[in-house]
Amino acid sequence: MLLVRRTGPVRVAAHRRMRGAGCAWGRMNGTAQIVIDRVSHTYRPARGRAVLALSDVSLEVRPREFLALLGPSGCGKSTLLYLVGGFLPTETGRILVEGKPVVKPGPDRGIVFQHFALFPWKTVRSNILYGLERQKLPPAERTKRAQDFINLVGLAGFEDSYPSQLSGGMKQRTAIARTLAFDPNILLMDEPFGALDAQTRSLMQTELLNIWKRTPKTVIFVTHDVQEAVYLADRIAVMSARPGRIKTIVENKFGERDASILRSKEFVERVDEIWNLVRDEAIKAQETKAP
């Protein structure tokens, strides 16, 4: 089954990589850490119409894998992360983490929400410490750990500021620090760098790769930035327009990931290939009428 609607050498290359993945949906014969199995999700707001956000989504993620999720606005990327995070109930299909069904949020899964979700009444330091409260660390160690992550995201000097006193990018960095500080095995990141300027974004990408190399984490990373996905991820799942489905999965192995790959021919071609897949869906999403 050929799922990539492209012609020429790129199409052939993409087809080979997808076959290499085992199958287009990335099933991995029992070695997956996260199993999303035929999951659909319908929002039923108290007012207005029901919205089918996800339809029959199946996806498996290996331990320590960095998976990027791309797709047009409204295709259900955030919904999928909320389900894996346990913030929404799985009503149709099943989601397993380490073989166990997800029923609620847990310290094994850290989520960076698309809209930061900081406590407005807490300072930067207190927001980050909040994530550490459940860990049984001595208070001095907790404070040190919070400070390390404040420094890491470049917020030294703003420890006592409240979210209302921060720019969008600073709020986002606080949210990232809060999640990284409690060191979850699984990171669910919903456009975590979306509000950052290009320079800070590039620094944060490098830091995230460093953290990911140092500590064994599995990452599901939602982004609209194709170049970011190709730079960071081992595999890239492209979702269809709403109702979201996994349209295709592309293996995205490069040797050592550093800034030098950004200029390589292989990298530029991969970005182009993925961008074409995403663009098809973005056009469909624009043509799609309300539910």
Binding site for Mg ion (CB under 5 A): 78, 114
Given candidates 26, 76, 85, 163, which one binds ligand ATP under the rule CB under 6 A? 76
Query: If binding is defined by CB under 6 A, does position 43 make contact with ligand ATP?
Result: yes
Alpha-carbon distance of 66 to 71, in angstroms, equals: 17
Q: Are 153 and 208 in contact (CB under 8 A)?
A: no
Query: If binding is defined by CB under 6 A, does position 245 make contact with ligand ATP?
Result: no
User: 10 or 51: whose CB is closer to Mg ion?
Assistant: 51
DSSP 247: E
Alpha-carbon distance of 94 to 247, in angstroms, equals: 19
Interface segment toward ligand ATP; rule CB under 6 A; list 45-53, 130-138, 245-253, 267-275 = 45-53
Closest CA relative to residue 143, chosen from 172, 166, 162, 123:
123
Query: If binding is defined by CB under 6 A, does position 75 make contact with ligand ATP?
Result: yes
Query: In 10 A of CB 103, how many CB atoms?
Result: 10
Query: If binding is defined by CB under 6 A, does position 26 make contact with ligand ATP?
Result: no
Which partner in ligand ATP, Mg ion, none is near 52 (CB below 5 to 8 A by kind)?
none
Query: In 10 A of CB 58, how many CB atoms?
Result: 17
Given candidates 16, 38, 73, 151, which one binds ligand ATP under the rule CB under 6 A? 73
Q: Which residues contact 223 (CB under 8 A, 6 or more apart)?
A: 68, 69, 70, 191, 193, 194, 229
Q: How far is the CB of 258 from Mg ion (least distance, A)?
A: 29
Which partner in Mg ion, ligand ATP, none is near 109 (CB below 5 to 8 A by kind)?
none
Q: What is the b/e burial string over 1-25, where b = at least 16 CB atoms within 10 angstroms of the residue's CB?
A: eeebebeeeeeebbbebbeebeebb
Interface segment toward ligand ATP; rule CB under 6 A; list 43-51, 211-219, 251-259, 271-279 = 43-51
Interface segment toward ligand ATP; rule CB under 6 A; list 24-32, 75-83, 98-106, 248-256 = 75-83
Which partner in ligand ATP, Mg ion, none is near 76 (CB below 5 to 8 A by kind)?
ligand ATP
Does a cis peptide bond (omega within 30 degrees of 0) precede residue 63? no
Q: How far is the CB of 78 from ligand ATP (least distance, A)?
A: 3
In the chain, what is the straight-line distance between the N-terminal and C-terminal CA atoms, in Å? 29
- Scan residues 48-67 and list those touching ligand ATP (CB under 6 A): 51, 53
> Quick one: tokens of 170?
């600073």
- Scan residues 107-126 and list those touching ligand ATP (CB under 6 A): 114
Q: Which helix (H) or strand (E) holds 146?
A: helix 139-152
User: 78 or 205: whose CB is closer to Mg ion?
Assistant: 78
Tell me which residue has its CB nearest to Mg ion: 78
Residues in touch with ligand ATP (CB under 6 A): 43, 45, 51, 53, 71, 73-79, 114, 242
